A and B are shown apart, each in its own frame.
Chain A
Amino acid sequence: MSKHPALVEWEEKVLKKALDKAPEQRKEFKTGSGLPAERVAMPEEIEQKYLDKLGFPGQFPYTRGVQPTMYRGRFWTMRQYAGFSTAEESNKRYRYLLEQGTTGLSVAFDLPTQIGYDSDHPMSRGEVGKVGVAIDSLADMEVLFDSIPLDKVSTSMTINAPAAVLFAMYVAVAEKQGVKPEQINGTIQNDVLKEYVARGTYIFPPRPSLRLTTDIFAWCAKNAPKFNTISISGYHIREAGSTAVQEIAFTLADGIAYVKAATEAGLDVDVFGKRLSFFFNASSDLLEEVAKFRAARRLWAKIMKERFGAKTPQSQMLRFHTQTAGYTLTAQQCDNNIVRVALQALASVLGGTQSLHTNSRDEALALPTEDSVRVALRTQQIIANESGVTNTVDPLAGSYYVEALTDRIEQEASELIAKIDEMGGMIPAIEAGFVQRQIEDAAYTYQSQIESGDRVIVGVNKFQIAEKAAPPVFRVDASVGEAQVQRTRKLRENRDNARVSSALEALEGAARGSDNLMPLILDAVRSYATLGEVCGVLRKVFGEYSDLKSR
């Protein structure tokens, strides 16, 4: 029987190009006992239905993955999210990681930084340096990246509402190193819509927030084309209690809102579309999660192509980072969490993730200890190097169950997106409290099932034991906050305050108008205006969002 012409075309155009660009990790791939492992297993007879729904990896609709060789070419990026109280401590850790061969850094900021407060603001009490590093000004950012060549590393920053300010500081540090914006690469989370429904670190109301987002898109398209300008996140929506379908639907609906805002601002979907990335949760129902990732890829490709007319493959591809589900971790018998994380990590790999963070066993108790973080990383390395699932692309394709679930999740998510479209899109849906209520209801159902015993959580509502003392937990030294407060106060005394005032005034004027704010924010941070001062100006112009207004 002759090869289907579509397969021939894929082999010649997509696969060959990928192999020419980057060879696979091995010449031959074999199972654990030496049988050959097929690159991409396919149905004996390729039918139109197969081509429409699944197609080939690296080709529309990307159900089977965004690259033709997937992990045979390169494993996913093992990126562990971490932050260490002070800029000095974090810098030390980053330099250590780089010496060990890491090329990707992931910065966790403390909560005041994420909400645009300086460390000495009254709201920052007790929170400085707790869940990540405190950055008040360019001076802190200089310490954070001291001796780290920003033209060589890729930096992922979990920052949303004040993303423009922290990104501007990053650009300014690069400038001081002699590195131009077009040379930097990395990702900023910059997904403020999910903050209103899940994660909670919003500052401004949705509409001005979206302006900041598109300002970043526009500025980067021109000046920093290698930087991923957003990571549209379902992770936190799922953590807040949503179902798998809701996670996909709300995340892609957020994506639609961003793309719509950017195209309305005159940006080219085939330019900024390439720099969109996603972030999903990997929860415990292994096969449902695999189906979810596959459905999300197919749905997004169709949305970008059909709704927004995206033409280049890169702007149709849904590339995503995954984190295992924090909400499934238990404080009881917490070593069991290692097994949960392994299953969830496996789901994300079988689902074709581009990068992965595995949670640590003790995270239901506190921030993880170093030992626990190592086990979490080893879990990924075992899947990558020992399990064999990386030898073949999209191994579960063609499973009756997984394909049926993939179709079902895609269909239900499409229906939910259509409902949001009817409401006028994600912003009106958030303002009406619709999304929040949907998530809350799902969370309540989930928890009620645990309470009734209908949903078994091992060690929690079944198979409990009497436990001895809890294991040691990680702690942040309380003196960290005070030292940071002193540092920022000193900075305010020693900088050129006239320059700061004029930069902030210029920013305020622009914020009231419609110019791109990135150049003005850059000017302000270069003058050592603090994060709190810059956000203060924007708070004054844009107002603040409250979670009580939408209910």
Chain B
Amino acid sequence: MSTQQCGRVLIGKPGLDGHDRGAKFIARALRDEGFEVIYTGIRRTPEEIAAAAVQEDVDVVGLSLLSGAHNELFPAVLDELKKAEAGDIPVIGGGVIPAEDIPGLKEKGVREVFTPGTPVKDILAVFHAAANEHRKKR
């Protein structure tokens, strides 16, 4: 599929942890799949990630975090997107995230949360669905 068909994705790393192995793998897998991918690099603030998402006009934002600050920083990115009137961009999270935190994150608007060991095809499927939905709204 061409980029036109798959859509644009921003992979962001909020927080201070430098564990970017997962983020980089997903970025590359999405690229191989046909998405156009922008990777923010590590240590981005929620403000920076939201601004990049708006500026790059992406269809999906993927967040990766392994430090334990997800309960604060994932919702913070959602808030910043809303402030930037881009609250309709779906946000997907991943990282070392305890199962018991996932319902709370979803309630706050994170579309899906992936933990270590998830097959990449499952992750790609959710990115496809999220991107398609967002593109229909355009």
Q: How far is the CA of A443 from the CA of B28 in the complex (A)?
A: 11
Q: A123-B16, A126-B73 are in contact. List 8 more A-B contacts (CB 8 A).
A: A111-B17, A124-B16, A127-B16, A131-B68, A200-B17, A365-B96, A443-B24, A548-B41
Cβ of B41 and Cβ of A546 under 8 Å apart? yes
Asked if A332 is an interface residue, CB under 8 A from chain B, the answer is: yes
Interface residue total, chain B, C-beta cutoff 8 A: 31
Cβ of A451 and Cβ of B68 under 8 Å apart? no
Asked if B107 is an interface residue, CB under 8 A from chain A, the answer is: no
Asked if A125 is an interface residue, CB under 8 A from chain B, the answer is: yes
Q: How far is the CA of A476 from the CA of B19 in the complex (A)?
A: 20
Contacts of A131 in B (CB 8 A): 17, 67-68
Segment 10-35 of B: residues with Cβ below 8 Å from A: 15-21, 24-25, 28
Cβ-closest chain B residue relative to A198: B18
Segment 110-138 of B: residues with Cβ below 8 Å from A: 115-117, 119-121
Cβ-closest chain A residue relative to B115: A331
- Digitize A423-466: 1 where CB-to-B-CB distance is under 8 Å, 0 elsewhere: 00000000000000000100110010001000001001100000
Asked if B85 is an interface residue, CB under 8 A from chain A, the answer is: no
Cβ of A239 and Cβ of B115 under 8 Å apart? no
Q: How far is the CA of A426 from the CA of B115 in the complex (A)?
A: 34
Contacts of B21 in A (CB 8 A): 239-241, 327, 443
Cβ of B96 and Cβ of A366 under 8 Å apart? yes
Cβ of A127 and Cβ of B67 under 8 Å apart? yes
| A111-B117 contact given A327-B21, A469-B99, A546-B41, CB 8 Å threshold | no
Cβ of B18 and Cβ of A201 under 8 Å apart? yes
Chain A residues with a Cβ under 8 A of chain B: 111-112, 114-115, 117, 122-127, 130-131, 195, 198-201, 239-241, 327, 329-332, 363-367, 440, 443-444, 447, 451, 457, 460-461, 469-470, 473, 476, 546-548
Cβ-closest chain B residue relative to A200: B18
Q: How far is the CA of A126 from the CA of B68 in the complex (A)?
A: 8
Give the shortest distance, in Å, between A209 (CB) and chain B (any CB): 15
Give the shortest distance, in Å, between A473 (CB) and chain B (any CB): 5
Q: How far is the CA of A239 from the CA of B120 in the complex (A)?
A: 19
Give the shortest distance, in Å, between A308 (CB) and chain B (any CB): 30
Most central of A200, A330, A440 by chain B CB within 10 Å: A200
Give the shortest distance, in Å, between A505 (CB) and chain B (any CB): 28
Segment 56-76 of B: residues with Cβ below 8 Å from A: 67-69, 71-73, 76
Contacts of A447 in B (CB 8 A): 25, 120
| A364-B43 contact given A200-B20, A330-B117, A447-B25, CB 8 Å threshold | no
Give the interface SS of chain A, mostly helix, strand, loop or mixed.
loop
Q: How far is the CA of A179 from the CA of B42 in the complex (A)?
A: 40
Cβ of A366 and Cβ of B24 under 8 Å apart? no
Give the shortest distance, in Å, between A33 (CB) and chain B (any CB): 41
Give the shortest distance, in Å, between A240 (CB) and chain B (any CB): 5
Give the shortest distance, in Å, between A266 (CB) and chain B (any CB): 33
Q: How far is the CA of A241 from the CA of B24 in the complex (A)?
A: 11
Name the contact of B42 in the complex, choosing from A365, A451, A461, A547 (C-beta under 8 A).
Answer: A547
Q: How far is the CA of A123 from the CA of B43 in the complex (A)?
A: 8
Segment 37-67 of B: residues with Cβ below 8 Å from A: 41-43, 45, 67
Contacts of A366 in B (CB 8 A): 68, 96, 98
Give the shortest distance, in Å, between A237 (CB) and chain B (any CB): 11
Name the contact of A330 in the complex, choosing from B42, B69, B98, B116 (C-beta under 8 A).
Answer: B116
Name 16 interchain pairs, CB-CB below 8 A, sorted by A. Answer: A111-B16, A115-B43, A123-B45, A127-B15, A127-B16, A130-B68, A199-B18, A364-B115, A366-B96, A444-B24, A451-B121, A460-B117, A470-B98, A473-B98, A473-B100, A548-B41
Contacts of B71 in A (CB 8 A): 126
Cβ of B67 and Cβ of A444 under 8 Å apart? no
Contacts of B28 in A (CB 8 A): 440, 444
| A130-B100 contact given A115-B16, A327-B21, A331-B117, CB 8 Å threshold | no
Give the shortest distance, in Å, between B97 (CB) and chain A (any CB): 8
Q: How far is the CA of A446 from the CA of B41 in the complex (A)?
A: 21
Name the contact of B116 in the complex, choosing from A123, A364, A473, A476 (C-beta under 8 A).
Answer: A364
